[in-house]
């Protein structure tokens, strides 16, 4: 969450002058490199890259289609749209909108059959969507305070 907050604030400050395509490309290259190194260094990481582990993962349907679709839709497309459009919003509004990530990830997971729709998922997702509507609701005229003399 600290890194994500830093990214939102970074985009708020520098996003006006950066090309979103270049920013997205650099972002994914750095994140990919850090992820590969961390995956190899952390406990069990060396086992993750072994041939038998990769073969076992690739034999599972939800991994075969789930991982590439989550990478493309939920990461590449979402982050590029974020890099392109967030500089037009205040950082606080953007932060609330980004809370939709778990809602869409869960919906995607349900559609792929990796998750089951439950009441707590619907309530949590509903609360997130209500917060987004609340933050983005057009400003209403507020009644003026009457000052007594």
The pLDDT score that the predictor gives to residue 52 is 87
The pLDDT score that the predictor gives to residue 149 is 47
The pLDDT score that the predictor gives to residue 120 is 92
> Mean pLDDT over all residues of the chain?
81
Specify the pTM.
0.57
Of the candidates 91, 81, 68, 84, the residue with the CA atom closest to the CA atom of residue 12: 91
Residue 119 has pLDDT above 90, yes or no: yes
Q: What is the DSSP string of 30-62?
A: HHHHHHHHHHHHSTTHHHHTSHHHHHHHHTSHH
Question: Can you tell me the mean pLDDT for 21-28?
Answer: 85
User: Which helix or strand (DSSP H or E) is residue 22 part of?
Assistant: helix 20-41
The pLDDT score that the predictor gives to residue 144 is 52
For the segment 35-66, what is each residue's pLDDT rounded down to a tens digit? 888 887 887 766 767 888 888 888 888 888 88
Q: In angstroms, how far is the first alpha carbon of the chain from the final one? A: 50
d(CA 86, CA 79): 10
Query: Scanning the structure block, which residue is given the tokens 């998922």?
Result: 121
Residue 140 has pLDDT above 70, yes or no: no
The pLDDT score that the predictor gives to residue 113 is 86
What is the SS3 assignment for 26?
helix
């Amino acid at each position: 969450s600290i890194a994500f907050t830093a990214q939102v604030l970074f985009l708020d400050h520098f996003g006006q002058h950066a090309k979103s395509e270049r920013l997205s490309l650099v972002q994914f290259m750095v994140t990919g490199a850090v992820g590969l190194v961390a995956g190899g260094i952390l406990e069990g990481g060396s086992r993750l890259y072994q041939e038998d582990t990769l073969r076992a993962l690739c034999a599972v349907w939800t991994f075969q289609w789930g991982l590439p679709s989550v990478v493309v839709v939920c990461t590449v497309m979402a982050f590029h749209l974020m890099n392109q459009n967030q500089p037009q919003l205040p950082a606080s509004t953007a932060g609330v909108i980004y809370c939709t990530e778990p809602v869409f990830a869960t919906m995607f997971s349900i559609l792929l059959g990796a998750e089951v729709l439950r009441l707590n998922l619907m309530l949590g997702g509903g609360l997130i969507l209500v917060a987004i509507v609340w933050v983005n609701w057009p400003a209403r005229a507020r009644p003026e305070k009457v000052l007594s003399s």
